[in-house]
């Protein structure tokens, strides 16, 4: 039996201060990740500070067409917000293709960004896992790695980042706003997610007690024409094997603006910058899309069990871009 204390915060500063005072303290939002992992003995917080009473649940319009999403806004609310549906369909679709309706009603956006990996060795407290227990080894390297990453891997960890909406937010250049002991910070979302390298236990740059307060999505006219495609083993209630967040603007038959990010294949939500560069100015058709996808995936380091993801990601990118441009599938 391990003691676990619970406190309910009423304002942002006291929530931060309470977690700061306890080295084994953690924030509790919807609890859909945190409570599972406590039950499985993977996380062992001594204190959970419930932040659900904090006034951080609004989705607000920003000047010029951007939006600011409070960290405690629920996945279901954000997915249905008119500004998100109309201006950022890729974000709405990514949310609706994640988890289940019940989970989406509980799960917050801040918690979603901080959710932990689904690697079965991480979630089995008896297996070696550098992320859970630094220096213990990585059971996935020679184990069952079908769902694991092919981009951004290291010899310490190959787990994929599991979030769907993070992929869409990375494509949209969102900014994570935090408040912590050092004051407020605005962290570009691509820098918020860290590659595993030699320190897979560090997944983001948050300090102990630093709270995500909001996620800001800057104006992006290209996003009105965007899509999120998710390929998985079953139609619902399943994480991505491969997913694609894409937005594209075509002018005179050529790609004038494009955003592309991948899920299910990277150790972090993967902005496909090589593919974006390769696409700009090229004819908007399946041949250029396939070439650009190939350039991005040339960096893949698959293992025998997940090598299929290279071809799946290649096809997924082409399908997403074709669906947005009405190009021809070949
Ligand atoms: C069966 C199942 C299926 C799922 N399928 C999907 C899926 O298909 N796609 C997908 O994207 N996700 C999926 N999820 C994950 C789900 O989306 C996350 O569990 C959820 O978004 C986490 O949000 P939460 O509010 O419940 O966070 P919590 O569980 O409360 O917290 C998660 C972590 O974030 C920290 N945290 C929470 N809020 C903040 C904050 N504001 N600032 C700093 N730290 C914070 C907590 O301390 C904790 O470490 C699934 C989960 C389950 C259980
Ligand atoms: S892939 Fe990462 S999370 Fe999974 S066992 Fe290896 S170190 Fe742990």
Mutate to test the pocket of ligand 2, among 125, 137, 138, 195 (most ligand atoms within 8 A of CB): 138
Mean pLDDT, the chain, as a whole number? 96
Each residue's pLDDT tens digit, 51-98: 999 999 999 999 999 999 999 999 999 999 999 999 999 999 999 999
For ligand 1, residues with CB inside 6 Å are: 26-34, 36, 71, 98-99, 103, 106-108, 110-112, 114-115, 162-165, 211-212, 239
What count of other Cβ atoms lies within 10 Å of the Cβ of residue 3? 6
Whole-angstrom CA distances from 97 to 242, 268, 287 are 13, 18, 28
Taking a C-beta distance cutoff of 8 angstroms, is the pair 252, 283 a contact?
no
- With residue 153 as reference, give the H or E element that holds it: none
Q: Closest residue (by CA) to atom 36 of ligand 1?
A: 111
Ligand 2 lined by 200 (C-beta under 6 Å): yes
Is the pLDDT at 327 greater than 70, yes or no? Answer: no
Give pLDDT tens digits for 168-226.
999 999 999 999 988 999 999 999 999 999 999 999 999 999 999 999 999 999 999 99
For the segment 217-272, what is each residue's pLDDT rounded down to a tens digit? 999 999 999 999 999 999 888 999 999 999 999 999 999 999 999 999 999 999 99
Per-residue burial over 24-49, b if 16 or more Cβ lie within 10 Å, else e, is ebbbbbbbbbbeebbeeebbebebbb
**How many whole angstroms from 75 Cα to the centroid of ligand 1?**
10
């Amino acid at each position: 039996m391990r003691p676990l204390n619970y406190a309910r915060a009423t304002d942002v500063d006291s929530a931060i201060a309470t977690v700061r005072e306890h080295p084994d303290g953690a924030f509790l939002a919807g609890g859909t990740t945190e409570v599972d992992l406590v039950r499985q003995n993977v996380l062992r917080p001594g204190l959970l500070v419930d932040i659900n009473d904090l006034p951080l649940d609004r989705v607000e319009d920003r000047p010029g067409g951007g939006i600011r999403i409070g960290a405690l806004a629920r996945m279901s609310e954000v997915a249905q917000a008119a500004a998100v549906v109309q201006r950022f369909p890729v974000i709405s679709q990514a949310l609706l293709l994640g988890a289940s309706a019940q989970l989406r009603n509980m799960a917050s956006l801040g918690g979603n960004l901080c959710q932990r990996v689904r690697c079965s060795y991480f979630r089995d407290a008896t297996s070696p896992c550098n992320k859970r227990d630094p220096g213990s080894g990585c059971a996935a390297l020679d184990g069952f790695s079908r769902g694991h990453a092919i981009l951004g891997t290291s010899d310490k960890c190959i787990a994929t980042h599991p979030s769907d909406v993070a992929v869409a937010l990375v494509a949209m250049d969102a900014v994570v706003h935090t408040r912590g002991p050092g004051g407020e910070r605005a962290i570009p979302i691509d820098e918020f997610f860290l590659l595993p390298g030699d320190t897979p236990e560090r997944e983001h740059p948050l300090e102990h007690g630093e709270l995500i307060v909001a996620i800001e999505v800057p104006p992006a006219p290209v996003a009105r024409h965007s899509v999120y495609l998710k390929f998985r083993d079953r139609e619902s209630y399943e994480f991505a094997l491969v997913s694609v967040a894409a937005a594209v603007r075509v002018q005179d038959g050529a790609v004038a603006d494009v955003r592309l990010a991948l899920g299910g294949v990277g150790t972090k939500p993967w902005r496909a910058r090589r593919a974006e560069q390769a696409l700009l100015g090229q004819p908007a058709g399946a041949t250029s899309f396939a070439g650009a996808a190939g350039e991005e995936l040339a960096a893949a380091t698959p293992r025998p069990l997940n090598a299929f993801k290279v071809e799946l990601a290649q096809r997924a990118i082409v399908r997403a871009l074709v669906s947005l441009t009405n190009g021809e599938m070949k």
